[in-house]
Structure 1
């Protein structure tokens, strides 16, 4: 299993900034890029996450062992797919109408957002994580392993080795993990699902995930998987 020492974050919004801070606290070298020039975001990064390195997308990717995609979903195709070739990528995106606009203009109706992001970055390995818990909760509710107050995150993807790698990374960031091995299951945590915005411990998250198919939303998801 690859040793992760350097974390790259594409997206210097609220989630990207929070994850950069958590990664720094966990002892990783962190690079982060934003939608503007390095000069434009450098002061923000130095102020909000001192120690992180503001860089262009290409420099972030070239100097990182793992990449976190923390941009509005509607902008993922603004990134050259070839840039992330052979990279392990954490998809922290969701469709959100306030930032992404009309869903049909962003996503095809026949698969989940992460499946479509994975299809675009076809030469990368995608794992869904960090996408549904509010950024305030991500920032404020990290705890050491074994702490009864520790929260859990859902981690899923098609590549078992990659999912296990990301789960281990999530552990170092201060969260337990509920693990699945199906990228399409990422929809369980997207807007409209019972988990979106939730901040739960392992037991409660596992219970909600296990009972997901009994909810109205879960039944709709199951129906959508029938070809």
Structure 2
């Protein structure tokens, strides 16, 4: 097993860590365990309250520190507003899968999380300068993620998009997405993760790879895309 979230020499994720034991984190844990991954899950505080529930789906509850230390990749399934609490030193050199989105009900009114000049995953990357952040597992509703998984090549298989700046990290996460039962669609670099966020057509999409790619391609002519393009083109 790799040493602390770095993956093995082939870039394959074998132990998947998940920070967050809510609905999405639990769904990802169940699918990953069913796909043959060793799955470690942390909640905020003592892991004991979720130990039995995690064991029932084939995962192991641990402290956040243990999860990070023993995993080849770590999924962030937390409220986005808590991203600054993530341990910078422990996640240095880590492969980090950002599945978080801004929800005002959970995160409060946060202008810093809605700035069209940057994607929220870029904020996470800035907080974790030593990590390799990939935006993934974020734009489809958790219930659809649970219900729509299908084997590779199956008719009607749905797609999940991802975005990241490190090609090896993106490839490793794309393999994970495929193993979980979805066709991976690479949106581009981490900045392109904004095309997967709330307000974009792809957010909430439960479609196949061709339709998802078309949604991504249409982003820059959409109302949200025009706002983002103008904000990014404006002088700093």
**TM-score grouping bracket, smaller chain normalisation:** over 0.9
- Partner Cα separation in structure 1 for residue 118 and residue 220 of structure 2: 17
**TM-score normalised according to structure 2 size:** 0.91
Matches within 5 A, 1:148-187: 148-187=155-194
Find the counterpart in structure 2 of residue 18 from structure 1: 27
Unaligned regions of 5+ residues in structure 2, if any?
Answer: 1-9
Q: Is the 8 A contact 1:107 1:116 kept in 2?
A: no
Partner-residue secondary structure (3-state), 1:131: coil
Per-residue deviation at 1:132? 1.2
Is 1:77 the equivalent of 2:87?
Answer: no
Q: Deviations over 1:174-217 (max 9, x none)?
A: 10011133111111111111121111101110111112111111
Find the counterpart in structure 2 of residue 33 from structure 1: 42
Find the counterpart in structure 1 of residue 231 from structure 2: 224
- Partner Cα separation in structure 2 for residue 107 and residue 215 of structure 1: 17
- Partner Cα separation in structure 1 for residue 95 and residue 24 of structure 2: 19
Q: Is the 8 A contact 1:160 1:181 kept in 2?
A: no
Find the counterpart in structure 2 of residue 90 from structure 1: 97
**TM-score normalised according to structure 1 size:** 0.94
Task: Tell me how many residue pairs correspond in the alignment.
Answer: 225
Per-residue deviation at 1:121? 0.7
Per-residue deviation at 1:2? 1.5
Is 1:206 the equivalent of 2:209?
Answer: no
- Partner Cα separation in structure 2 for residue 46 and residue 84 of structure 1: 25
Please point out which of 23, 38, 42 is paired with 2:51: 42
